[in-house]
Structure formats: C-alpha cells, structure tokens
Amino acid sequence: MRPGRGCKSCRKKHAKCITEDGASACVRCIDSGHVCDFEPRIRFKEVKHVDAASKGPGVRVELSFEEDQVWVSTNQPCKFIIEDVVNGTEWDTTELAGDSTIAVNEGVSGTALTTILEDHDEDIANDSLQAGTTAEQQPYGDELRVNPDHAYIQLPEPNSHHSNTIDVPQSPSTFLWNPRKDTGIAATTLSPFTPALSDFRGDAILSPSDIAINQTPRTNLTSKREAFLLHKYTNLLAPWADIFDSRQHCKRLVPRLCLHIPMMRYAVLALSARHQAIVTKGTELEASYYHGKSLELVIDALSAPEETYDETHLVTVAILRHYEELGNDDDHRTHLLGTVRLLRTVSKFSLSGGLGETASWWILRQDIYVALVHKQPLSVDLSTYDQASAFDLEDDGSYSNMVVLLVARILQLLHSPSHSTDISAWETLETETDAWWNAKPDTFQPIFYEEPDLSQNRAFPTMCMVSSAPMAGLAYYHVAKVLISMHKPLSPKLSGFHAAKTRQEAEKNVIHHLSQAIGLSASNGELENATFETHHLLYMCGYCLKHPAQREAAINFLTWSEDVTGWRTSNTVNMLKEQWKHLDAAE
C-alpha cells in the first residue's frame, strides 16, 4: 500500500495535480474554485503470489490467509489503482473488473489517432495515418547516405571512442547568466489540457486566455478529422512555437482555446492540414478552406478598436504566419506584418509572462527568419524584449532567448546606416556572443561529440544533444557567428595582404560555424523543432561549402528535412546546386 499523490479532486478526475511552491492549493482547484484536499488516502494493490529467491529454479509462493485472519472493516469500498509511472496517470479499476487491458494516455498515442481516423474518408485517413507513423517519426539517420566516394553524416557506434574536445572561442566572458529572480518553475513536460492559469501570476489576475477558457462558450469539433488535426498540432507543431518556453503555453493552452475561439481553431486546423498535405504530397484544398475561414474571422476581429486586441489575436495571427512559412513558394509575409502591428499596438504582450510572451518570442524568431532569407530589416521593436519576464527564469529556454535577442541585434545593426563604419558596435556584439558561449550551462554541452573526418565518411561533426532548447540555442549562436564573420567591417588600418588574410579567416569561420550547425541538426533529427535555423544558414551561406562530400550531405539533410518537418527546402536545394555550379566553373 502507499499514500495517494495529488489532491482529492484531481484524483477523482484522473487529472495531473500541479501545485506551485508554497501554494496551499493546486492550480486546477484554484482555477475552478474547488476546495483542495490533500488528505492522503490508503490504497491497496492485490498480491496473489511472490517469487522467492533460490539457487535453483525459481520458487513461486502462493499467498493465502489463515482461517483465523482478522479483517478490518472500512467505511468505503477499497479501489485498486493502476498507475502509469511514465505519465503519472492513475486509473480506477473498480468499474473495469475483468478487463485486463487498459489504454493509458490515449489522447496522444498512435492508437488513438488510428481510432480517430477510422471512420474518415478512406483516401484521406489512410494517407494521414501513414504519414503520421512514417515520415514524421523517422529521424535523420544512416538511410540518407551519400555517394560511397563521398561522405555522410553517421551517428556514433555504441562502443566507439573518439575525442570529445570542442572548439571553444576564447574571448572575455563579460556576459554572465544572471536571471533577475528565480521563480522556481522547472522545465517539465506538462499535459496540453492541464487546466491552469496561463502564466501562474502571483496576483491571480486572469489573462485574456484564461477569460476565454472560463467565460466564453465551448464549441466541440465537428468531425474526427478535425480532432486528428488538433492532435497533430498539439503533439507536433505546437512544440515548434514552445521551443524556448519551459511552460509549453502553446501546447497546453492553444488546444483548449481552439474550443472557445473560432478564429484560432480554424488557424490551427489550416496549419495542421497544410503540414499534413506537404508530408503526404497531397492536396491543400482542405488547408485553404480552413485558412479562408480563419481569415474572415481575423479580419472581423481586427476591425474592432485597438484597445480590444489581446494575446489571443496575437497567437492566431502568429499561427497564420506559420501557415505562410510552410507555403514558402507563396510566402508573401502578410501575416508577419499583422503580428508586428499587433505587437506594436499592445507592447505588454512581451512582458505578460504567459501565452502572449511565448507568442512574442515566436514572432521575433519569425522576423529573424525573414531578415535572414529575404535580406530585409527587422520589423519588430527589440526594446519590448529587454524586460521580458522570460529572463526571470533560470532555464535553458531563457538562456537561449538571450542569443536569439543577440542575433536580432546583429541584424538590426546590419541594416542600420552605420553598419559598414561602426566597428566598435560589431566588436561589442561579437564579445557578447562569445561570452554567451563561454558562460553557457552544462546542458548546452553535447552528450557525445565527434570531429568530422572525411576518411571515415563524416562530412560534418556529430553532436548528440539531450533536448531541443539547448540545441536550438546553439544553432542561433552559430547564426550570430556567421553574420559577424560575413558582415563585420575591416579595420581601415588593414590593406593588401593583411586585409586579404582577414577575409580568408572570416570565410573559414563561416564554413566552420555552418558545418557545426549542420552537424548539430543532422545528429539530432528526432529534435526536429530545433533544425530550422540550419535551413536558414544554408540558404544564406551554403554556397561556401566546397568539398563534394559536404555539399552532398547538406543536400541530403535538406531533402530529409522537407520530408519530415514539411518545411519546403527544394528551392534552397536548387539554388545551392546552381551556386556551386557557377563557383566551380569560375575556378
């Protein structure tokens, strides 16, 4: 027997019980206004036999009670509990007597998705299920090998022994990781349907998301197909937006908000449907339908006075922007302009500490993508991020947000009138970038590192990471180093040989950091939400790769990435092949 975990209300509803440090009640009870009772309950598990240790064959001892066994009366019937030790879910089996199989956590399992699709149209259901269990779940691996005469990226063998030294830039560590305060929020995995305040504010002020969930009517989805698309968003696409958010606001709150806010629901369904169409090579008619429905509602909502705008508008438009990004070929960046206008109208989003701030950082990363690929200035006002509450948290995502902001500042300088003359500004940003690298937490170190070796068919280094936030943070660091190497102006004192030597060293640095980024993404294909920055780098400076093995491995990575993430890279592949062709002809 053992004492129960969680309050009585959460145990009764089979819900995960989350209690903040120092709180007298769990988040669910605070949200619902229920009395939170943590009185422990004794539960018994039936044991019919034990296996006794012996030197010979195992001995099973059947348990039975003596005739004079004393029995204790109970006021209520005892219930036998089956606990899912992985997900922390408890299931009352009183009403399931005789049923020896219980589906645990069906909401996110492949079996549940199969059930959701069973009754859907045959052509769509089969394609959707096949894509959900093949392309989306296949990590970058040895099946993407290049020509035997060249090299490919190969994950290390279990018993291989190689050098684990990493090239660390040596520069003054003037930038130290020192959050303003520690709120005690750990980077944990939370259920997307955990009913909780979106930002856990101490003053218990409800956010617009909380108000929408608690005070607006709920409308269920209209079909099993829509349920499948919402599952797809929750478990695959939302983590892309939550990459640096330890509280996983998009995964936890957006699926619930979709049942209360139609414009957000249609935006999510459009995004999921477009992604599904890309990975299955299918039609986008369904995605276009949901996209049109969402746009109608968004236009109507944004025609209201600006003081009525809130984080739900911001998130919806950011999701629509993600929809545009997946299109790539027809990316007119319309919704990015919409998100920037919203962000300018209500700057408090970036300081809210909840879903609004998560969306704000997501929009900044979208703006960085546009600046890198389309070579245009940032649209977002960076001053709104200086006091963001994300910097109050001591976690990997918050530390990564710092280098994201550094990349944004570098791009801001690059497109300023003084970018070619203000050498001191470039040196300051370079020093801060190197200091970020030198002060990074241990979680940003790979658990396995192997240098590239063309003789061993390794075109790029192997760097195995544990989680996606540090990996994506390191990718942004390499983006920052590439931008500085490519655009930092030369000192007026340099000329002739010394100027040529400096340019040559800069090109070597570009190739080094590009190779590191490709190796990082290719070694961690299962962390697909952290690979996008490498796409942008290859688009920006992939032409610098000279060795045929590196070129072929880079093309293989881009091809694999489109098949798995749905991010269209075919244009980048064609562009790189054309650039390499011209450069080789010039030599």
- Domain match, 223 and 113 both: yes
- Domain match, 448 and 522 both: yes
Q: Compute CA distances 167 → 450, 458, 474, 477, 509, whole Å.
A: 11, 17, 13, 14, 12
547, part of any domain: yes
- Domain match, 274 and 372 both: yes
- Domain match, 388 and 479 both: no
User: Tell me, what's the pLDDT at 198?
Assistant: 44
512, part of any domain: yes
**Domain edge (last residue) among 367, 393, 419:** 393
Burial class (CB within 10 angstroms; exposed 0-12, middle 13-18, buried 19+) of 361: buried
185, part of any domain: no
- Which bin fits 581, alpha (ψ -120 to 50), beta or left (φ > 0)? alpha
101, part of any domain: no
- Domain match, 421 and 556 both: yes
Question: Following DSSP, what letter does each residue of 511-522 receive, concatenated?
Answer: HHHHHHHHHHHH
- Domain match, 270 and 351 both: yes
- Domain match, 164 and 197 both: no
User: Tell me, what's the pLDDT at 78?
Assistant: 54
Counting every residue, how long is the chain? Answer: 587
Q: Quick one: which of 423, 343, 418 has its CA closest to 383?
A: 343
496, part of any domain: yes
SS in 3 state form for 314-351? HHHHHHHHHHHHHHCCCCCCHHHHHHHHHHHHCHHHHH
- Domain match, 485 and 364 both: no
**Total number of domains constituting the chain:** 3
Collapse the DSSP code of 105 into the 3-class scheme (helix H, G, I; strand E, B; otherwise coil) and give the result.
coil
Q: Which two tokens stand for residue 385?
A: 């991020």
213, part of any domain: yes
- Domain match, 132 and 4 both: no
pLDDT mean by block of 10 residues, the chain; 587 residues: 65 81 81 75 61 61 72 61 40 40 34 37 40 42 39 37 37 37 38 41 58 81 94 93 90 94 96 92 92 91 82 89 75 50 57 79 89 86 78 85 95 88 92 95 94 88 92 95 92 81 91 94 82 88 92 92 83 93 88
**Domain edge (last residue) among 362, 393, 424:** 393
- Domain match, 129 and 154 both: no
399, part of any domain: no
259, part of any domain: yes
The residues with which 52 forms a beta bridge, in sequence order, are 59
- Domain match, 151 and 62 both: no
Which of 295-304 are b and which e, b meaning 16 or more Cβ less than 10 Å from the residue's Cβ?
bebbeebbee
User: Tell me, what's the pLDDT at 53?
Assistant: 58
Q: What's the domain range around 285?
A: 108-137+193-393
- Domain match, 439 and 381 both: no
Other C-beta atoms lying within 10 Å of the C-beta of residue 411: 24
**Domain edge (last residue) among 393, 422, 452:** 393
Other C-beta atoms lying within 10 Å of the C-beta of residue 10: 25
